[in-house]
Homo-oligomer: A and B are copies of this chain.
Amino acid sequence: MRVLHHLWLSPFCRKVRVVLHEKGLAFDMQVEPVWERRVEFLSLNPAGDVPVLVEGDGTTLSGSDAICEFLDEVTPEPPLIGRQPRERAEVRRLVEWFDRKFNAEVTERLVGEKMMKRFLGIGEPDSQAVRAGHINIHHHLEYIGYLMERRSWLAGDTLTLADIAAGAHLSTVDYLGDVPWTDYEGAKDWYARLKSRPSFRPLLADRIPGAPPPKAYADLDF
């Protein structure tokens, strides 16, 4: 059985979990305490981070882009990166938007500061970073709303890796109750559709011991 080595609130791991579900691929999950830098784990991925996917035949993949592109190549249906080069460039542009820009401007400043520092025992959240995260998220919700006025899903007519990446990041921030959905109808409607997909449900069942999410986190009518 294929095994995904992961961490609960990593948006990059969540992205891979949703892709596996959308492709109909069964997998087991194993939490990896990356901060322990275990030798066995470093032999799977010398970068020392998650996600790492070990396929049934032993093929070991790391890097969330590498994993998602691989899965889309070996299991082409349903296509999650589009079919034509231009569509594919638009999907990847938006994946980068969320995995780099949103990640640096929002996820790391909220989830990173409030939750990860606590897990790692490396001190208190930096209040200036947290404040910036709360400000920055508005711009991104607005951008999702802008796209939703023009398209059914972020990159076009169908669900793609762009929606999955965006949803993965937003779901981790939503776990903290830090997404101001009420001000952004377009983004909220889009996220409601994402939440109701079977592939997304397992994320909504995640519970970190000692840090439960607010009720709205798993609520489809939030």
Contact = CB atoms under 8 A, between A and B. Distances in A.
Interface of A: 46-47, 49, 59, 61-67, 69-70, 73-74, 85-86, 88-90, 92-93, 95-97, 101, 143
Contacts of A74: 85
Contacts of A93: 61-63, 66
A93 B61 CA distance: 8
- Please tell me how many copies of the chain the complex holds: 2
A61 B89 contact: yes
Contacts of A85: 70, 73-74
Given A47-B101, A101-B47, A88 B73 contact: yes
Nearest to A86: B59
A89 B89 CA distance: 18
A93 B68 CA distance: 11
Contacts of A65: 65, 92, 95-96
Nearest to A104: B104
B63 A96 contact: yes
Which of A49, A66, A95 has the largest count of B CB atoms less than 10 A from its CB?
Answer: A66
Most B CB within 10 A of own CB, among A61, A62, A89? A89
A216 B20 CA distance: 48
B46 A66 contact: no
Given A65-B96, A67-B89, A70-B86, 8 more contacts: A59-B86, A63-B92, A64-B96, A65-B65, A66-B89, A66-B92, A66-B93, A69-B92
Top 10 A-B pairs, shortest CB-CB distance: A66-B92, A63-B96, A63-B93, A70-B89, A73-B85, A66-B93, A66-B89, A61-B89, A74-B85, A70-B85
Identify the interface centre among A59, A73, A96: most chain B CB within 10 Å of its CB.
Answer: A96
A69 B88 contact: yes
A181 B66 CA distance: 29
